[in-house]
Amino acid sequence: MDDVKRRVRKLKKLEKKIRWSGEAAPGAALVWDGFFCLSAIPAGNARYTLAMLSAMSREDYKSIVDEFFAHVYYELYLENGIAGASIYDPSVLALLGLPPDADERDVKGRFRELAKKHHPDKGGDAASFIELMNAYERLQQ
């Protein structure tokens, strides 16, 4: 448990180093806060508690860390005005069930697949289809 806590704290320090050269900008939100919580009781909007991380396999933990860094670099690109058409919001990609490193072809293919599944004319749910359309629009901006 202590080893996991130490590794997760290192991720927080590394995010600060990547995004702000060591010290967090005043009022800036850390991606880390949305992912990890080191207290016994989950706080805020953190997805993973220390207990959850300790119980995970090495592969599952690695995929969470990969997703975390995709979010960190996405925020870095946005903050520095270098986000381009080929850089997608990892949280929207997750809604579509895609990995953070998905490219345009992956996004289009997955969108078409989900659109067929959720289209109201094909027996799908209208609310799910609207959510899918909104997610795809956010990726296209």
3-state helix, strand, coil in the chain (%, to 5): 65, 5, 35
Q: What is the pLDDT of residue 85?
A: 56
CATH 3.40.50.10860, domain 90-140, yes or no: no
Q: Which contiguous run of DSSP H or E holds residue 36?
A: strand 36-37
Q: What is the pLDDT of residue 10?
A: 93
Q: What is the pLDDT of residue 11?
A: 93
- Three-state SS at 103: coil
Amino acid symbol at 55: A
Amino acid symbol at 80: N
Give the whole-angstrom CA distance, residue 33 versus residue 52: 15
Q: What percentage of the chain reaches a pLDDT higher than 70?
A: 91
Instruction: Tell me where in the chain the CATH 1.10.287.110 domain(s) lie.
Output: 90-140
Query: What's the pTM value of the predicted model, to 2 decimals?
Result: 0.71
Contact between 37 and 43 (Cβ < 8 Å): yes
Q: What is the pLDDT of residue 113?
A: 92
Low-confidence spans in the chain with pLDDT less than 50: none
